[in-house]
Structure 1
Amino acid sequence: MTTTTAPPRDGLPAMIAYLTRVLKTPTIGAFWEQLADQARTENWSHEDYLAALLQRQVADRESKGTVMRIRTAYFPTVKTLEDFNLDHLPSLRRDLLAHLATSTYIPKAENVILLGPPGIGKTHLAIGLGVKATQAGYSVLFDTASNWITRLSDAHHAGRLDAELTKIRRYKLIIIDEVGYIPFDQDAANLFFQLIASRYEQGSVLVTSNLPFGRWGETFSDDVVAAAMIDRLVHHAEVLTLTGDSYRTRQRRDLLTKDRPGQDRQ
């Protein structure tokens, strides 16, 4: 049985610095002395001190992990659900949004579909849910529908489509923004179908679209392909059909109201 003896007091800082470097726990190396002083002042037990020190290391590591996952998700901009003005979208169920914010749908490979007219905040919601997923420890990849098609088309022409789909499957959640804004030809529609099929019951997909499902055949140039795609997407999904005024239209209306001449305020 191996016995452990306390190192000489004067050599303790150097030893702890060495050990935290070997263990790759820099936060412990940075804060052990500060927390030790606090532990002595507040009469912590050894267990209390150890737990506080480890908690500090884990929190710091998780925070850095979230920052890295947000960076590698390639969001066009980082937006949070907390910044979203729910009052402007009364059609959105608060309880359902709160449930989705827990990201519990991701380990079950379930999907989220946001349908509604342009300008009501679908992309903001998608990014906000994506950020929540990164904070929960899940890998996320964001792009517009047209950019996803470009990515798959390039891989197809290079003879590595299967490898690219396998690479994409490593992400726990992919976000496909703006389905329906640009129509796709038959080849693009087939590539998009392969992307959705490759993730069916394997990984989560979050889709935003300005078109109801009944008009997806217009976007994908084929009602049969569109129907097969929709079938796979909605089998395990929360579908949110949103209604409301465009933020941009509302802002323009508010500006026009403010700029009216004084006689309007008689």
Structure 2
Amino acid sequence: MSAINYKQIDAELAHIATVLKAPRIRSTYHDTAEQARDGGWTYEEYLAAVLSVEASARQASGAQARIKRAGFPHIKTIEDFDFMVQPAIDRAKIARLETSAWIAQGCNVIFLGPPGTGKTHLAIGLGVIAARHGHRVLFDTAAGWVQQLTHAHSTGSLPKLLAKLGRYDLIIVDEVGYIPIEAEAANLFFQLVSTRYEKASLIMTSNLPFSRWGECFGDATIAAAMIDRIVHHAEIFTHKGNSFRITGHEDILPSIAAEREHQIN
């Protein structure tokens, strides 16, 4: 029986790993082979060990790419959210959403409440988890989405944009209600919601209760139709309390309230 030419085998495996664009296989197969020989592994066990390193690395790399493409303004995690400060949010319900199973079912998640109470934090946190689970995610504010839709409409490319967005498993719409949306733009936004109904998921955050969405969208009928589709298959969370960003500066709250009253009047 001829001696095993390990140098030739190493060269062949290195070449194969390069062709397959699998650098982790190239860097780990030799050491793993030593472990396999010492441990008496089967061929199948060795193959699984080598491939799992590459698969895990690719999965992690893909997740990072999806997170980057999502357009998050910053990265927030569920682990970093202080549920003690926001007891109105049921931690167990958030934990169930962390499986991302709801996305496969085309369901939605809505966070309502005052500014600065963690709505965007949780929305991003769930979006990051979804990206890590292999889902395509896109984030923007309501104003940003309206701008995209309006531009597409004006250039005759709205159907193309809606088709493109339909290929994303999860779209996050942040800050609904902060800036009024004109009737024509509201109709475009309704089309975005309607095309995703029972097909793909939304996460939305708003400082307004649903009863006031008609004020934001300038059309009570469109707002009602939109809400009807959004909440049909949705988990809704209502945040309470003052802004986290104001904590420790409660002395300025009276002046903020007075300013809001002045703006209303």
Instruction: State the TM-score, normalizing by the size of structure 2.
Output: 0.90
Write out per-residue CA displacement over residues 186-206 of structure 1, whole angstroms, 9 at most, x where no aligned residue. 111111101101111111010
Letter in 1 for 2:237: L
**Is 1:19 aligned with 2:16?**
yes
Partner residue in 1 for 2:225: 228
- TM superposition shift of 1:113: 0.6
Which contiguous aligned blocks of 4+ residues in structure 1 show a shift greater than 6 angstroms?
A: none
Matches of 1:77 and 1:44, distance apart in 2: 45
Secondary structure of the structure 1 residue equivalent to 2:44: helix
Partner residue in 1 for 2:258: none
Partner residue in 2 for 1:105: 102
**Is 1:152 aligned with 2:152?**
no
Write out per-residue CA displacement over residues 21-59 of structure 1, whole angstroms, 9 at most, x where no aligned residue. 222322111211121222233333322222211111110
Mapping 1:1-40, distance limit 5 Å: 8-40=5-37
Query: Given that residues 91 and 244 in structure 1 are in contact (C-alpha distance below 8 angstroms), is that contact kept between their aligned partners in structure 2?
Result: no
- TM superposition shift of 1:19: 1.0
Mapping 1:1-266, distance limit 5 Å: 8-253=5-250
- TM superposition shift of 1:85: 1.1
Matches of 1:51 and 1:9, distance apart in 2: 21
User: Which blocks of at least 5 consecutive residues in structure 1 are unaligned?
Assistant: 1-5, 255-266
- TM superposition shift of 1:253: 4.3
User: Which blocks of at least 5 consecutive residues in structure 2 are unaligned?
Assistant: 252-265
Matches of 2:30 and 2:6, distance apart in 1: 13
Letter in 1 for 2:232: H
Write out per-residue CA displacement over residues 64-92 of structure 1, whole angstroms, 9 at most, x where no aligned residue. 00000001000000111111111111011
Query: Given that residues 110 and 236 in structure 1 are in contact (C-alpha distance below 8 angstroms), is that contact kept between their aligned partners in structure 2?
Result: yes
Matches of 2:26 and 2:179, distance apart in 1: 53
Query: Given that residues 90 and 244 in structure 1 are in contact (C-alpha distance below 8 angstroms), is that contact kept between their aligned partners in structure 2?
Result: no
- TM superposition shift of 1:103: 0.6
Report the identity percentage. Answer: 51
Matches of 1:83 and 1:43, distance apart in 2: 44
Matches of 1:77 and 1:181, distance apart in 2: 19
What number of residue pairs does the alignment pair up? 249
Write out per-residue CA displacement over residues 94-138 of structure 1, whole angstroms, 9 at most, x where no aligned residue. 110001111100111111111111100100000000000001100
Matches of 1:38 and 1:7, distance apart in 2: 18
